[in-house]
Amino acid sequence: MIEKASAAAAVQNDIHTLDSKITLITQKLQTIEKNMEVIGRTMIALNERIKKLESSKTDSPLTASGKIDHEQMQKLYATKQELNELKYVLNSINPLEYAKIGQVRELIEETLSTEKTKKYSDPDKEDTRGLMEKI
């Protein structure tokens, strides 16, 4: 009697295990079906894009054989000489050599204040007429 009860419990456990596995498999199949639907919609959208690109192929620099036309490529891209000229211009502009308006004002105010203190402290010194030459 005990053997029959333990055998029935073992069979019941096996059935429960199999039922769980079947449930997992059905969930995975549902996920696969959803993914297939998404892939199908994506393929349709991509095919439409390809058709649009093929119809507007005349605007691209590619020739009918798929090679790039040399004249169109020259119009689209800069030459090595043009790049070197741009590099020279960019390198010749040193931002450290330029001052902002606020910085210039600060320098003027600072110089004026130091000149005024010098003038009041020592009247024999030069006046502020040459101030702009110093700046």
Look at the chain and report how many structural domains it folds into: 2
Residues 28 and 86 in one domain: no
Radius of gyration over every alpha carbon of the chain, rounded to an integer in angstroms: 41
Per-residue burial over 27-60, b if 16 or more Cβ lie within 10 Å, else e, is: eeeeeeeeeeeeeeeeeeeeeeeeeeeeeeeeee
Give the model's pLDDT for residue 68.
63
Q: Do 72 and 134 reside in the same domain of the chain?
A: yes
Q: Which of 59, 81, 102 is the last residue of a domain?
A: 59
51-87 confidence digits (pLDDT tens): 888 887 655 555 555 566 677 777 777 788 888 888 8
Distance CA 3, CA 51 (A): 71
Query: Which range of residues forms the domain containing residue 55?
Result: 1-59
Write down the pTM of the prediction.
0.37
